[in-house]
Structure 1
Amino acid sequence: MADGEMDTERPGINIIKTPPPLPSPLLSNTNMPIYTSPSHLPASLSPDVLLLGGGTAASVVAGRLARCTPAPTILVVEAGDNNQHDAHVTSPGNYMQHQQPGAPRLKRYVSTRASEFLGGRQAALPVAQSLGGGSSVNFMMYTRASGSDYDAWEAAGWDAQALLPCLKKFEDWHGEGDGETHGRGGPIGVGYGGWREERLMLQLEEAVVEMGYDVVADANDLKTGNAFQKWMKYIDPATQMRSDAAHRYLHPLIPTHENLHILCNTTVSRVLFSTDSLVPRAVGAEIVPSPAEHFSTEPPPSPPQTVLAKKLVIVCGGALGSPLILERSGIGGTAVLQQAGVPQLVDLPGVGEAYQDHNLLLPAFELDSTIQTHDKIFSSLSTGPPSDIPTGQMGSNALDFGGKIRPSPAQLSRMPETFQQYYHEAFTPHPDKPLAITIPIAALLAGHENFPPDSRFATVALFTGYPVSRGRVHILSPSAYAHPELDAGFLSSELDVPPLMWGYKVLREMMRRVRSCIGEVAGGNPVFPSAKVRYERPEGWTPAVVRDVVYTDEDEKELECWVRANVLTTWHGLGTCAMKAREDGGVVDAKLRVYGTEALMVADMSIAPGNVGSNTNNTALMIGEKAAILAAEYLGIELS
């Protein structure tokens, strides 16, 4: 998509000129036959394919299989609500609604146990609970993994070259650069959004160039690991609406595809198996109404219902949900199942193990009044968007510029020797792997009540791509309502702290060089004993006059304490049903079949055996496309 025209009434603000939205299958049907509770499900319905979860990958699989020849009957069971036409989902500017107390019921939180590595605090991991899963509630930040990430999975048919057709298949990409590795005409619209704060973007570009970074047209070409770019978003350029998986793969089909059925507000208790043969065969599932609260010690209000599947069951509960479904079904490690009181059907000790995530920091900086931000929108979420925001701003997520970054030799030399050795082993041979990703968000993500009404901010997100720490998630009882035992493992490896400390210093230096930056927000940054900075902008000031801050040993200790006290999940969980050899703790093979079973697959981020240096939505969409191919092969049908 070409750059828009400059808005002369608001200097520095770029509004993309788009035609009025055309009639679209996204909006064409308002009375869709989606069942809202298990009691509404027709007793006669026995689908060919049963998908247990309605998230990102599941939506792709269901949408692709529904159009196959011959067409199988499909039932998608989703724990959360239907997301169709929900403005909290479709309008990009509303995405912070999902982070507010009393937010719409589109997510739930799973609490970890208290961790000594986080200063004794618990972490809360958000889990999407809506049709479309994470694609309905994420920040819409389009980021691809590196090619070497997929090569490192070492699974047949899952290397980067083999996966490129799947990565291109779902895209309708409207970006700059040669576009050779991107797709056009796919279901997921990818563009720059309907609005950009051009002045801030140019100042950020000026700052990072002064720091020695390249600015490229496309840092998401599967091979760039150390550059900044004008950032892209899962926002359709024509409609300025979120490109979530449910609106793009499911909702357009239901009016015309009687073989596709959706059941919302329904929790999966367990998979059912036939044991007539030597290998247990998946034949259906037990389901219950989703509890009013996300977890409950009370039993379900009615006995579980049974839904049978004629040919295939696919578990799509996500990194924190799929292992729990398998364990409640008797698939998992002996000790875990015995403690939970679940008879073991298949011994797979890898279920629920090797949880991985990205470690996130969100320091905040104040900007001057020359910058238009999303602060008015985010501070008015309970009352709706204010009337005086620029046209098109609700079609943006305020993430306009960012980068994948690696340390320079000089920066690396100042990091601990143990980390330097690890870096040379894990990163030096793979220049496409970023150590971290950073992107300023033109708004304060915390509460605005302690600041003047017209205050303007940038929250600079930074997350590390390949933490070494591992966690685990397991059931404590057979109940689908019970809270699991969860240890996220954050910062349990000493190798995970230096990248966060280095990354914070990089983003701090970037913001010190941004002309409109007034200073650091108190409470949103460390309080250094000596490495304090002043933000003075005399006439004729340029980023070139800024010199990097020198940190003392006391400053380093303060920064480490702050990192441990403030590190967060990035909503990027994966790895708990890993695709690798069974003897190595694997749960599924390269065709996503659960070891020791028949007619049972897993298709979501839980199958990723190694991390990806990116936001995970892109990989989840790819897994959905790949899983659809594998499921069609299993069923003996042909994808359209």
Structure 2
Amino acid sequence: MDKLAQLQDVDGQTFDYVIIGDVFPVPKSFVYPNIYYPSGGGTAGCVLANRLSEDPNVTVLVLEAGKAHFDDPIITSPLWFPKQFANPDYDWTFPVIPQDNAPEIHKIPWNRGLGLGGSSAMNVLTYTKPAREEMDALEALGNPGWNWETYQTYAKKAEGFQAPLPREIDDGFRDLYHPDSVGHDGPLTLSFVPTGCGADAAFQQSLAKNGLNVLTNALGGEIIGTFKGLSTFDQFAGKRVDAATAYILPVLHRSNLKVLTEAYVRRIITEGDEDGGVIARGVDFEHGGKLVTAVAGREVILSAGSIKSPQILELSGIGDRKILEPLGIQTVVELPTVGCNSQEHHFVRAPFLRLKEGKGLVSGGMLTDAQVAADLKKLHKLDIDYTVVTNAIAFASLQTVSERASEIIARKKAQLSADWEKYLPGLRRQYTQMLQLLESGHGADIEYMVAAPIFEGLPEPHKPHIAVSPNLTHPWSRGTVHIASADPKAHPRIDPRYFEDETDRAIMAEGLKHILKVVRTPPLSDLVEVELAPGPNFDLSTDEKVQEFVSRNTSTTWHLCGTCSMMPRELGGVVDAKLKVYGTKNLRVMDLSVLPLQVAVHTQAVVYGMAEQAADIIKASVQSA
């Protein structure tokens, strides 16, 4: 393997593009006359580094705060990824402030990947593409060229799909797809994991009895229904594939690409020009306990994620004057919407089920027993270890899950009408799109997923367990991520404002009631030994009791978006459709923070497609300059 860069490999050298991923400080400056700074060796940053360095006539430097973690079994194994959580070598572990409407959730930190590959190295490997209407909504929000057709083109450019292999044991959980809806030649390896918990087919059959049928192609813009999802998994190697192993490791041999790890961004250096604009001249960062300034001759590109990107902008004087100046930070660009419009998926930690033994059912806790794992590998005649991942997915409209849908929608419309003048123009535009989807009955308002990984603290970990959780996909509540200190090492103040909008809690409660019907319907119910949560005697008789349970048993899904939203400035946008930060000449953002309106699906597929499109936007801007 070609080696990662050392400081001496980059100190004093000139690079056309510098991709920064939360770097570690050096007491002298080194200058890169023609530079981009996509801040982040995470998912988007890795894509940009690969694509920009395809041109042998440019040089690219990647700076990343964490370590490389190449060939680390805690990352590569689909079984052991929970060991990353709260481990400072792998996880930022961002705290969340207490929430008035969700009294327990602030105890659950927002885990984010620290290292090359970012959160793509610690997620649950789920690769689900958004609905056509969701990506078309980006264009409707004032972003020309950002729509489903363009997204699908770029997503397929990223994807390297492995066709399913024959399986020794057919459990009825089908690998369904259409070849034209997925890419086959891209760097990101995707596959249907050939083994599972054994309850997935029963989950689909019980869903069908409760209004949700199996989709034959969930990759082509239609997601309502249930399906087996793709995973970022190499079925021949039996390992996770993340953005670093897909986009960085294969091209480390390029002489025009240098990757420096263990770095931490402090701020972007800017200065004004004669036209009254702001130019990004470089980045202050740390490496080995020393301060370093990297000077940019072309552009700075920030790809630090939905938490760190707004933090770095604010530390650099770009944001709301009322937040910056009390902290002693001079306002360079007055852009009050930096860190606003945050939207986060969250799910109910129930139903949680202990399954019956002796029926071939498997969960992650069981696989920690070496003998059990070996027996399963032999039984299925596998060349790789037996694996369970979260790939039994379903998306449903509110109309499908609830008899009270019309009542909930009518109440929401009345509330929007009453409060319409209070909303900023961008939020009005977003809510218009959301209401259209909600009323149509074609929106994916709730997700269900079967999770069978390692659960900490199980009283009987040797028995099979699954969680079948409803997930709120299109939250109406809006939160914020802002700095609370001028210290770059201090965590930002994260306030997701869970359930500030009552519609969110109402939809989640209806989703919980519906999925409880599903798990109590054969054939899934035939596999259940005991319903551990909320329990067979849980009182479903009143909305108040169900919503109280939802409030106290909600957890993040780690899909935050919107904190540097891509929208016209007059609508409250932070970046334009070319990803340029308003008020600046040469500063871009590219990560999930630019997504202005949350999609229903797990978000990594969205980031890969958007980052591929961003790379072409950047290349085109150089050619036209």
Judge same fold: TM > 0.5, yes or no: yes
C-alpha distance in 2 between matches for 1:432 and 1:309? 46
1:342 to 317, 321, 329: 329
2:304 to 317, 341, 362: 317
C-alpha distance in 2 between matches for 1:394 and 1:200? 19
1:528 offset after TM fit, Å? 4.8
Query: CA 1:54 to 1:410, structure 2 compared with 1: closer, same or farther past 3 Å?
Result: closer
- Find the counterpart in structure 2 of residue 131 from structure 1: 116
Tell me if 1:49 matches 2:11.
no
Structure 1 stretch displaced more, 489-498 or 427-436: 427-436
The question of whether the paired residues in 1 share the 8 Å contact of 2:28 and 2:292 is answered with: no
Tell me if 1:184 matches 2:184.
yes
Deviations 1:47-96 (A, max 9, x none): 6322211110111011001102x532112221211121111112222222
Q: How does 1:52-91 map to 2 (within 5 A)?
A: 52-68=39-55, 71-91=57-77
Query: CA 1:331 to 1:259, structure 2 compared with 1: closer, same or farther past 3 Å?
Result: same
Q: Which runs of 4+ in 1 moved over 4 A?
A: 34-47, 377-380, 383-389, 391-395, 418-424, 428-432, 526-529
C-alpha distance in 1 between matches for 2:247 and 2:5? 16
2:260 to 250, 263, 282: 263
Letter in 2 for 1:218: N
Deviations 1:408-461 (A, max 9, x none): 46824267545665599333565542111111123463322x22x522101123
C-alpha distance in 2 between matches for 1:40 and 1:84? 29
- Find the counterpart in structure 1 of residue 213 from structure 2: 214
- Find the counterpart in structure 2 of residue 105 from structure 1: 89
Name the % identity. Answer: 25
- Find the counterpart in structure 2 of residue 525 from structure 1: 534
Tell me if 1:425 matches 2:428.
no
Tell me if 1:484 matches 2:492.
yes
Query: CA 1:587 to 1:37, structure 2 compared with 1: closer, same or farther past 3 Å?
Result: closer
Tell me if 1:33 matches 2:17.
no
1:617 offset after TM fit, Å? 0.4
Q: How does 1:200-599 map to 2 (within 5 A)?
A: 200-225=199-224, 227-255=225-253, 257-277=254-274, 278-289=276-287, 301-302=289-290, 304-363=291-350, 364-369=352-357, 370-376=359-365, 387-390=374-377, 391=382, 394=385, 396-408=387-399, 411-413=402-404, 416-417=407-408, 421-422=412-413, 425-428=435-438, 430-443=440-453, 445-448=455-458, 450-451=459-460, 453-513=461-521, 514=524, 515-521=526-532, 524-525=533-534, 528=537, 531=539, 551-553=540-542, 556-599=543-586
Secondary structure of 2:322's counterpart equals helix
- Find the counterpart in structure 2 of residue 141 from structure 1: 126
Secondary structure of 1:623's counterpart equals helix
1:33 offset after TM fit, Å? 3.2
- Find the counterpart in structure 2 of residue 544 from structure 1: none
1:243 offset after TM fit, Å? 2.0
Secondary structure of 2:347's counterpart equals strand
The structure with the greater share of residues assigned to helix is 2
C-alpha distance in 1 between matches for 2:277 and 2:88? 43
C-alpha distance in 2 between matches for 1:289 and 1:134? 22
Query: CA 1:502 to 1:31, structure 2 compared with 1: closer, same or farther past 3 Å?
Result: same
The question of whether the paired residues in 2 share the 8 Å contact of 1:117 and 1:491 is answered with: yes
Query: CA 1:409 to 1:223, structure 2 compared with 1: closer, same or farther past 3 Å?
Result: closer
The question of whether the paired residues in 1 share the 8 Å contact of 2:566 and 2:575 is answered with: yes
Query: CA 1:461 to 1:260, structure 2 compared with 1: closer, same or farther past 3 Å?
Result: farther
The question of whether the paired residues in 1 share the 8 Å contact of 2:62 and 2:258 is answered with: yes
Query: CA 1:44 to 1:339, structure 2 compared with 1: closer, same or farther past 3 Å?
Result: closer
Secondary structure of 2:92's counterpart equals strand
Give the RMSD, CA atoms, in angstroms: 2.8
C-alpha distance in 1 between matches for 2:156 and 2:393? 22
2:79 to 93, 99, 114: 93
1:211 offset after TM fit, Å? 2.0
1:217 offset after TM fit, Å? 2.0
1:610 to 590, 597, 604: 597
Query: CA 1:410 to 1:443, structure 2 compared with 1: closer, same or farther past 3 Å?
Result: closer
Letter in 2 for 1:403: A
Q: How does 1:191-202 map to 2 (within 5 A)?
A: 191-197=191-197, 199-202=198-201
Structure 1 stretch displaced more, 52-61 or 118-127: 118-127
Letter in 2 for 1:224: I
Deviations 1:554-580 (A, max 9, x none): xx3222111111111110001011111
Deviations 1:572-609 (A, max 9, x none): 00101111111221110000001111111000000011
C-alpha distance in 2 between matches for 1:188 and 1:215? 26
1:136 offset after TM fit, Å? 0.8
C-alpha distance in 1 between matches for 2:479 and 2:247? 32
C-alpha distance in 1 between matches for 2:80 and 2:27? 31
Deviations 1:334-358 (A, max 9, x none): 1011122100111100101111111
Query: CA 1:634 to 1:239, structure 2 compared with 1: closer, same or farther past 3 Å?
Result: same
Deviations 1:205-247 (A, max 9, x none): 221222232112222321232x111232111233222121111
Deviations 1:162-212 (A, max 9, x none): 222112111123363323232111111221124234x42222222122223
Query: CA 1:71 to 1:415, structure 2 compared with 1: closer, same or farther past 3 Å?
Result: same
The question of whether the paired residues in 1 share the 8 Å contact of 2:480 and 2:495 is answered with: yes
Structure 1 stretch displaced more, 402-411 or 307-316: 402-411
Secondary structure of 1:150's counterpart equals helix
Secondary structure of 2:264's counterpart equals strand
- Find the counterpart in structure 2 of residue 540 from structure 1: none
The question of whether the paired residues in 2 share the 8 Å contact of 1:235 and 1:395 is answered with: no
C-alpha distance in 1 between matches for 2:567 and 2:553? 33
1:384 offset after TM fit, Å? 12
Structure 1 stretch displaced more, 271-280 or 574-583: 271-280
Secondary structure of 1:152's counterpart equals helix
Secondary structure of 1:314's counterpart equals strand
C-alpha distance in 2 between matches for 1:400 and 1:315? 31
C-alpha distance in 2 between matches for 1:95 and 1:631? 34
C-alpha distance in 2 between matches for 1:72 and 1:430? 48
C-alpha distance in 2 between matches for 1:91 and 1:40? 39
The question of whether the paired residues in 2 share the 8 Å contact of 1:588 and 1:607 is answered with: yes
Letter in 2 for 1:223: E
The question of whether the paired residues in 2 share the 8 Å contact of 1:83 and 1:132 is answered with: no
Deviations 1:88-113 (A, max 9, x none): 112222222223x5x36211222122
Structure 1 stretch displaced more, 341-350 or 391-400: 391-400
Secondary structure of 1:270's counterpart equals strand
Letter in 1 for 2:78: P
Query: CA 1:486 to 1:407, structure 2 compared with 1: closer, same or farther past 3 Å?
Result: closer
Deviations 1:252-289 (A, max 9, x none): 1112x121121222111111123343312112100024
Unaligned runs of 5+ in 1: 1-28, 291-300, 532-550
